[in-house]
Amino acid sequence: MKIGRPKEVSDEHIVAIARRCFLERGGSISAADIAREIGVSHTTLFNRFGSKQGLMLAALGAPKDIHWIGTLEVGPDNRPIREQLVEIACTIAAFFEALHAGFTVLQASGIATDALCSGEDPEQSAPARAFRALTEWIGRAQEQGKLARCDAQVLASTLLGVLHNRAFSNRINGEPGSDKATDERHVADVITLLWDGIRPVP
């Protein structure tokens, strides 16, 4: 029986290099140039991802897995809840910044946004799972008396909406990739603004 050769370059490595190339040089960069950067043939890229658009969607679209979902699923922990909210919000803000950077290149390349989720069950998509995880995290914090009772879905939507709008506004206003300290101050200010409505009643 003929045994296939193992992949010498992982899909994850290809996607990471391709993402950097697309972000630095735009969607017009050729598959051949990306392949040279990775050290594979452009045929390899097409074999793995089907087309240049397939590679772009893999590199710049919404991820299949969102790493911070796991953190939400095991929390909250014993640290001050406000500190945890700021930490989570900073992580989500960075996620939205990276997401918008990729979407900007896709849209500039004429790739319709409906191509980002084609063939995927919306309820099982990573963004939907992330929203549920945040809502459930808030619910557990409320049950533990760490946050005031309110509609957990509304609070999750509010927080995500503010953080998403920040990333979107940065792109629209020509200020992408603002420094980390500025972003963290903004997130802390958002939590401060919400805090009077969600802090636990003594």
Q: For 87-126, what is each residue's pLDDT tens digit?
A: 999 999 889 988 888 988 998 888 876 666 655 666 778 8
DSSP states of 162-199: HHHHHHHHHHHTT-TT--HHHHHHHHHHHHHHHHHHHS
**pLDDT band per the 50, 70, 90 thresholds, residue 183:** low
Q: What single letter denotes the amino acid at residue 101?
A: A
Structure-block tokens of residue 20: 């950097």
pLDDT in the model for residue 146: 95
**pLDDT band per the 50, 70, 90 thresholds, residue 2:** very low
pLDDT in the model for residue 184: 74
Given the structure tokens 């979407």, which residue do they identify? 103
The answer to whether residue 131 scores a pLDDT higher than 50 is yes
Least confident of 42-46, 79-83, 88-92, 118-122: 118-122
- Tell me which residue of 192, 85, 72, 57 sits closest to 146, measured CA to CA: 85
pLDDT in the model for residue 164: 86
- Tell me which residue of 173, 180, 22 sits closest to 101, measured CA to CA: 22
- Tell me which residue of 81, 48, 52, 56 sits closest to 155, measured CA to CA: 81
Q: What is the mean pLDDT of residues 152-159?
A: 92
Cα dihedral 42, 48, 51, 53 sign: negative
Mean pLDDT of the chain: 85
**pLDDT band per the 50, 70, 90 thresholds, residue 172:** low
Structure-block tokens of residue 173: 């206003």
